[in-house]
Amino acid sequence: MVVAFYLFLVCQMFHLLFLMAMGQYLINVSEEVFQLIYEAKWYKGSPKSQMLYVLVLRKSLNPSVLAGGGLIPLNLYTFVQ
């Protein structure tokens, strides 16, 4: 019975690690989008595309974050705490 409990505990920890890793991946990708737009040569585009660059840049200032119940951010930092 004790072995089954520890096996269940290990499986749940791997499941939690998988969820946290997906949240961390989302954060990393959204920060990468910001960096790529920031480094783009937006000044060579038309005035309309320059305005769209600014809008996307402002939207991506805060990275997208998955949150458990709206309270706990799902990232690797939360997993190791």
Query: Does the model's pTM come out above 0.75?
Result: yes
User: What pLDDT score was predicted for residue 47?
Assistant: 92
Boundaries of domain holding 69: 1-80
Question: For the segment 33-55, what is each residue's pLDDT rounded down to a tens digit?
Answer: 999 988 988 888 899 999 999 99
**Close Cβ partners of 76 (under 8 Å, ≥ 6 residues apart):** 20, 21, 24
DSSP-derived 3-state class of residue 67:
strand
Distance between CA 6 and CA 81 in Å, rounded? 20
Q: What is the DSSP letter of 2?
A: H
Number of domains in the chain: 1
- Which residue stretches of the chain have pLDDT < 50? none
